[in-house]
Amino acid sequence: MQGRMLMADSRKLEKMLKNYLITAWRSILRRKVFSLINITGLAVGIAAGMLIILYVKHERDFDLFHRNADRIFSMGIRMGADGDSLFVSRLRYTDAPVVTEREPSVAGFLRIRKGMEHVMIQDPAHPSVKFSEPGFAFADSNFFDFFSFNLLQGNSREVLQNPLSVVVSEATALKYFGTTDVMGRVLRYNNAYDLLITGVAENAPSNSSIRYDFVASLSSMSAMPELRQLAEKGRFDFLTFFTGRDDRAMPKVERSLAQLRKERDGEADGRFVGIPMQNFRAESGSDVNTVKYLKIFPFVAALILLLAMINYVSLATARAVLRVKEVGIRKVMGAGRSNLALQFFTESFLCIGMAFVLGYVLCAVLQTWLFGVLKINIDSSFIRKPGMLARFGVLFVVLTLLTSVYPSLLLSSFKPAALLYGRIINGGNAGVRRFFTIFQFAVAVLFVLCGIIIQQQIRYIKTADTGIDRDHVVTIPFGKDLSRHSLAFKHEVNSLGSIQKAAIALRPLFGGYDMTGVTPPGTEKITMMPMLEVDQDFISILGLQWKLPPADPLFYKTRQNVLLNEAAVAQLSPGKAPLSQKIAPFVVSGVLKDFNWKSLQYAIQPLIIAVVSDADSNAMWRGDRSVWTGSNGCLFVKIRAGANTALVLNQVKKLYQKYEQDVPFEYHFMDEAYDAMYRAEERLAIILSGFATLAIVIAGLGLLGLITFFAAQRVKEIGIRKVLGASAANIVTLLSVDFVKLVALAILIASPLAWYSMHRWLRNFAYHTEIRWWIFVLVGMGAILIALFTIAAQTFRAARANPAKSLRSEG
């Protein structure tokens, strides 16, 4: 009996819902423009929110998608004293096995050896299929078991068992063979060894620090004499990961390694430091700022979503004015409050559902473009992952509840008699609406202000005098073969007509530096100092300025002679005449004015510049330095202003290829390398400007809803005023002043917030722009103008309405 009743109830509800959906759909269609504004507004907000959720989830999960990621850590060694130390994130070949044997809390380990240099890989069956590969690594046989990278072919425990076996990524397989069905095929390593393909792996996801094109078995190294030495010499050359049995394993491993080092090397310098997997990216890469700004984005996304939601609610309740009649009729026809609440809830659900689908589509379509603009790398498949969809689902439910409950309750609460007999509904929620408007504009103004100030900082950075003339300077990294002929190459490039000058350095500027130990005068202690190794043309090609030029212009003929920057002088021998000071093992022969050799985020740090003479440089650039420093040296080229850059570079390329066949010709414009240091800031600026625009649009829409509501409420008042002789201009002013007040209040709230947050942000930079007062005035005026423009149409319509109509008495 009860079951039957339930059945009947559910069928009744079903019929009811169907009726509600029909009404909702027709009412959406009836007010096309309104619905379009409302749904698109929300959809855009949702898309923005989704994109940010996607981005944040992607970044948060960085390196954490591996099984047991919370118990994986890598180990490195910090050498030198605190403050000026050098961190090497690698261990020696034999370290991990010994520690694992000694330390019961270690469940497993993995060693990866990835050289800095490119290797040549060739398909022996088609000799012309030959590429220089940067992504080649040797790894212990448990690589695919230790990390959760999926194998398309091959068994994760077996693929790397034998020497001279290799697993290739999907992309690599396609690149060499045009198919992923490549098991059993052979690839030739550095023209010498044939590696058997034993597995094909999915490409590493975009949120993995560990990337690979080729993973060869570590045991292959013992089959290659030149690499066998590496293992035997005991260099810190192996990226080593451990899995702990619990979360206390890391300090134990640190201690165990220190003990091991003591046993082997006696009292050697260095402290072992573990890096949990979640910090691996920040410690190993240069993306520190991206990680830092990651915290801002969820906040921004929440604000944008909140804006869109407020807007939706605001418009939905504004429309309530138009729906009151229907509510009245339905109540008289027998609808209970719950019926009506459910009806409006269904409507809301339908609208939000549509906005959500539209938002998802927008998000899916725009992500490639947007992430491209932002120079963020996120796999496009990420948006379809179950984890993401689950999050979007939660977002949908929360959104529906938050945006639907209030309008539903509000609309269903109206009393029928009042509605049907045209009595004015007193908008008890006018205060809420005012608050909404203030909030929306405050957020918009905040975003705009922050966006502008960040842009100004970026412009400041780009135009600041860093003491380096970056214009028309190109750097060209050498391959191993070319490094043996670097001098000849330099002279040949120099003789090209469009080249103003060429210089050689060990590394490109803004692309790393070396550390060297020196003993300042009067001390015994060794201080670690950054050092650049360059040739004598380096100083003039970058326009570096002398503070104290060397007495002997040919100072570099003597090997010990080095140059310091002012910061180094201040640190090493303050108060003394620097020239000819001995800072063992060097002698100071000149001082350069400070220049920003690192990001403007940092104050200029001490720097030693070792100028190497041509005679020495042959010995300098040649040999196996690359194994240790990761660089074969590079050429700085200054192209004459007005020369055809593409043509010049092509000429240089031809010269390059004369000496170097294996490593492809590469070049970087120095101003681009400089800008690249501020990519995270630029990204922040782009995102903020995008959101600022969005916030303005949404706030504008919200204002439109508000003015519609207020104009409708004040129709009678306006009518009376007109009958009493008010002009249209009077009415427009009357209506506008109210809104200008709201927007002004929003500006007053947003300005100090923007000032404070930007003041703090700018403090991250040792060199930064000033926040200027007129920005606030300008943005404030802009906001008021936008507000006036938005409400103009409605206020004019209200002001020009015929009072006879609005004052007609209701029967």
Partner 1 sequence: MLLSLKGIYKWVNTGINRTFLLKDINLDIDEGEFVSVMGPSGSGKSTLLNVMGMLDDFDEGAYHFMGDAVQNLKEKQRAALYKQYIGFVFQAYHLIDELTVYENIETPLLYKGVKTSERKAMVADMLDRFQIVGKKDLFPTQLSGGQQQLVGIARALIGNPKLLLADEPTGNLNSRQGEEIMELFRQLNQEGVTIIQVTHSEKNAEYGSRIIHLLDGHVERR
DSSP element (H, E) containing 775: helix 773-800
Among 2, 3, 4, 26, binds partner 1 (CB under 8 A): 26
**CA–CA dist 149, 317 (Å, integer):** 51
Min CB(804)–partner 1 separation in Å: 18
Stretch in the footprint of partner 1 (CB under 8 A) among 219-227, 284-292, 326-334, 595-603:
326-334
Min CB(12)–partner 1 separation in Å: 5
> Which residue, 136, 143, 155, is CA-closest to 200?
155
Tell me: does residue 332 bind partner 1 (CB under 8 A): yes
Min CB(29)–partner 1 separation in Å: 9
Tell me: does residue 22 bind partner 1 (CB under 8 A): yes
Among 179, 387, 421, 793, binds partner 1 (CB under 8 A): 421
**CA–CA dist 547, 645 (Å, integer):** 33
Between 347 and 533, whose beta carbon lies closer to partner 1? 347
Min CB(280)–partner 1 separation in Å: 59
Q: Tell me the CA distances in angstroms from 128 to 123, 176, 186, 554, one per residue in order.
A: 8, 10, 14, 48
DSSP element (H, E) containing 739: helix 728-762
Tell me: does residue 27 bind partner 1 (CB under 8 A): yes
Read off φ and ψ for residue 609, nearest 5 degrees. Answer: -115, 115
Tell me: does residue 12 bind partner 1 (CB under 8 A): yes
Tell me: does residue 30 bind partner 1 (CB under 8 A): yes
Stretch in the footprint of partner 1 (CB under 8 A) among 216-224, 414-422, 629-637, 742-750:
414-422
Cβ contact 635:503 at 8 Å: yes
Among 6, 15, 194, 377, binds partner 1 (CB under 8 A): 15
Between 17 and 296, whose beta carbon lies closer to partner 1? 17
> Which residue, 509, 536, 535, is CA-closest to 631?
509
Cβ contact 652:497 at 8 Å: no
Among 333, 641, 646, 724, binds partner 1 (CB under 8 A): 333
Between 33 and 333, whose beta carbon lies closer to partner 1? 333
**CA–CA dist 529, 568 (Å, integer):** 9
Residues touching partner 1, count (CB under 8 A): 29
Tell me: does residue 141 bind partner 1 (CB under 8 A): no
Locate 601 and state its tokens: 């985020």
Stretch in the footprint of partner 1 (CB under 8 A) among 12-20, 48-56, 547-555, 735-743:
12-20
**CA–CA dist 505, 478 (Å, integer):** 10
Among 19, 155, 368, 381, binds partner 1 (CB under 8 A): 19
Beta-bridge mates of residue 516: 529
Min CB(330)–partner 1 separation in Å: 7
Between 67 and 325, whose beta carbon lies closer to partner 1? 325
Locate 5 and state its tokens: 């009743």
Tell me: does residue 21 bind partner 1 (CB under 8 A): no
Burial of 584 (0-12, 13-18, 19+ CB in 10 A): middle
Beta-bridge mates of residue 502: 637
Contacts 24+ apart (CB under 8 A), 728-735: 728/796, 728/799, 728/800, 729/799, 731/795, 731/798, 731/799, 732/795, 732/796, 732/799, 735/707, 735/710, 735/711, 735/791, 735/795, 735/798, 735/799
Stretch in the footprint of partner 1 (CB under 8 A) among 60-68, 192-200, 325-333, 687-695:
325-333
* Residues 611-650: x where in contact with partner 1 by CB under 8 A, - otherwise, as a string: ----------------------------------------
Tell me: does residue 423 bind partner 1 (CB under 8 A): no
Among 328, 479, 530, 550, binds partner 1 (CB under 8 A): 328
Positions 173 through 232 that interact with partner 1 (CB under 8 A): none
* Residues 335-354: x where in contact with partner 1 by CB under 8 A, - otherwise, as a string: xx--x---------------
Question: β-strands 586-592, 634-639: how paired?
Answer: unpaired
Min CB(22)–partner 1 separation in Å: 7
Read off φ and ψ for residue 595, nearest 5 degrees. Answer: -135, 155
Tell me: does residue 416 bind partner 1 (CB under 8 A): yes
Min CB(687)–partner 1 separation in Å: 41
Tell me: does residue 8 bind partner 1 (CB under 8 A): yes
> Which residue, 690, 282, 744, is CA-closest to 454?
690
Min CB(424)–partner 1 separation in Å: 14
**CA–CA dist 159, 154 (Å, integer):** 6
Q: Tell me the CA distances in angstroms from 781 to 453, 709, 757, 778, one per residue in order.
A: 17, 25, 21, 5
Tell me: does residue 67 bind partner 1 (CB under 8 A): no
Which residues here bind partner 1, judged by CB under 8 A? Answer: 8, 11-12, 15-16, 19, 22-23, 26-27, 30, 325-326, 328-336, 339, 416-417, 420-421, 809, 811
